[in-house]
Structure 1
Amino acid sequence: MAQKSLLQVEGVETYYGNIRALNGVTIDVNEGEIVALIGANGAGKSTLMMTIFGTPRARSGKIIFAGTDITNLPTHEIARLRIAQSPEGRRIFPRMTVLENLQMGASLDKLKYYDEDVEKVFHLFPRLKERISQRGGTLSGGEQQMLSIGRALMARPRLLLLDEPSLGLAPLIVKQIFDAVRELNKSQGLTVFLVEQNAFGALKLANRGYVMVNGNVTMSGTGQQLLADPEVRAAYLEGGRH
């Protein structure tokens, strides 16, 4: 099925001081796809996710979103283009309630669709509705991850960036999170770019995937192709590097 490219990362290099974290990375994400980026801890996956969002900046290369060059745009302007991020470590507001956290996600759209969008989040994650008045910091890890994704969805994104959504969570909760992402993609056509150390879960979920090693994209293919690839299996799926 022919799809229109929504996000293009072209030859991006990112540095922390003098240390090069991304080495000419090129990936693309088509409208309506789930694309996974897998790799060991420290491979540069989260750096790429943050570079797309403008912090840190790409030192060279280009990032194009929906035909607009966003490489040097400030983060708040990137967010206005309807890219939303659920960052690594969740980063919810711990002193705010579940509802207040969701309101923070909706602020870009001046609460225009607020009631409708809150109901959508509660439909996706019924647990959050049960915890509506509870402070974010008192939620379990899984509930905080649901809240982080829910807050991102309140911005009505065209592209959802998910950074390590399964990190530190029990398998049953991971399944709930991945099922919710699949449902969003299927029912709303939401485009998702997913960074994950859980290679098996991510590639099962994804239409396509990329493998990153030491700041380089070393392999790409459909989720099924990568799941079946002997190198990927040895490194990420059979008790090898994680």
Structure 2
Amino acid sequence: MSEANSTAQAPAQASPQAAPAARPLLTIRGVKTFYGNIIALKGVDIDVNEGEIVTLIGANGAGKSTLMMTIFGNPRAREGTITYAGNEITRMATHDIAKLNIAQSPEGRRIFPRMTVFENLQMGASINAFAHFEQDLERVCSIFPRLKERLHQRGGTLSGGEQQMLAIARALMSRPKLLLLDEPSLGLAPLVVRQIFDVIRELNREGMTIFLVEQNAYHALKLAHRAYVMVTGSITLSGTGKELLADPQVRAAYLEGGRH
């Protein structure tokens, strides 16, 4: 395990498969983000390699969601660079970033509550001009059978777990190569949490790269090939998921009282 922004080199054993060979897909270097004069991210360095699940854990207010939003250009990084698939995207507009095979399931789900499930999924598919709509609709309905039963139901009438499924399904409709997931287990019952994490694992097995922000440190680290810890806008630890699960500092701060 390494301190302050270094990444571990040993292959992870925390997930069901070995970590893929390191081919950078998302590279974040020296990123600083501000809200007015208040600095939220203090020079963040993170790598997400192709085919990996990389997780970012930290307490409330650490800056995790700010980093997710900064990747998408809102807020925009004031310093540093964000590179996706070899192209710098730091100054790109959010709608242009969304066309680069990056999709996000944001914190709080942010579905369109007055739209039906079907219409929400259409919004996700609009990113690639509905190129494979029927095929993708069938796929997300097979991943989340409950959504198929509720296609014509308004999103706002769904349960919390169903809304989270819809948020992920909407992101999948654009056929992303990189999926950003921000707190997918927040506020959900344990059974639904397990279902969501099973879906994340299966998507990765199918080849999708996933960057996961998650307060449920135990489940996230168990799933991850590699992981980072963020404290007040800075990366303080990094390593394989297995290494961080065993780290005394991590256990004391994020796992004490949790499921083991």
The CA deviation string for residues 55-76 of structure 1, in whole angstroms up to 9 with x for no partner, is 0000000000000000000000
- Give the Cα–Cα distance (whole angstroms) in 2 for the partners of residues 17 and 90 of structure 1: 26
- Give the Cα–Cα distance (whole angstroms) in 2 for the partners of residues 149 and 107 of structure 1: 15
Gaps of 5+ in 1: none
Matches within 5 A, 1:1-242: 1-187=20-206, 189-239=207-257
- Give the Cα–Cα distance (whole angstroms) in 2 for the partners of residues 49 and 170 of structure 1: 24
Deviation at 1:205, TM superposition (A): 1.0
The CA deviation string for residues 141-175 of structure 1, in whole angstroms up to 9 with x for no partner, is 00000000000000100100000000000010000
- Give the Cα–Cα distance (whole angstroms) in 2 for the partners of residues 2 and 170 of structure 1: 35
Q: Which amino acid aligns with 2:226?
A: R
Query: RCO greater where, 1 or 2, for CA within 8 Å and sep 6 or more?
Result: 2
Deviation at 1:191, TM superposition (A): 0.4
Gaps of 5+ in 2: 1-19
The CA deviation string for residues 168-210 of structure 1, in whole angstroms up to 9 with x for no partner, is 00010000001001011102x0000000111001111111100
What SS does the corresponding residue of 2:44 show, helix, strand or coil? Answer: strand
- Give the Cα–Cα distance (whole angstroms) in 2 for the partners of residues 2 and 206 of structure 1: 15
- Give the Cα–Cα distance (whole angstroms) in 2 for the partners of residues 196 and 112 of structure 1: 32
RMSD across aligned positions (CA): 0.9
Deviation at 1:84, TM superposition (A): 0.4
Deviation at 1:2, TM superposition (A): 2.3
- Give the Cα–Cα distance (whole angstroms) in 2 for the partners of residues 153 and 25 of structure 1: 27
Q: Which amino acid aligns with 1:75?
A: T
- Give the Cα–Cα distance (whole angstroms) in 1 for the partners of residues 81 and 173 of structure 2: 28
Higher mean C-alpha deviation, range 1-10 or range 35-44: 1-10
Deviation at 1:116, TM superposition (A): 0.6
Deviation at 1:3, TM superposition (A): 2.3
The CA deviation string for residues 75-125 of structure 1, in whole angstroms up to 9 with x for no partner, is 000001111000000000001111110010000111110011011101111
- Give the Cα–Cα distance (whole angstroms) in 1 for the partners of residues 44 and 83 of structure 2: 13
- Give the Cα–Cα distance (whole angstroms) in 2 for the partners of residues 208 and 27 of structure 1: 11
The sequence identity of aligned pairs, in percent, is 72
What SS does the corresponding residue of 1:88 show, helix, strand or coil? Answer: coil
- Give the Cα–Cα distance (whole angstroms) in 2 for the partners of residues 239 and 214 of structure 1: 22
Q: How many residues align?
A: 239
Residue of structure 1 equivalent to 2:4: none
What SS does the corresponding residue of 1:8 show, helix, strand or coil? Answer: strand
- Give the Cα–Cα distance (whole angstroms) in 2 for the partners of residues 170 and 101 of structure 1: 23
Deviation at 1:25, TM superposition (A): 0.2
- Give the Cα–Cα distance (whole angstroms) in 1 for the partners of residues 83 and 151 of structure 2: 37
What SS does the corresponding residue of 2:109 show, helix, strand or coil? Answer: coil
Give TM-score scaled by structure 2 length. Answer: 0.91
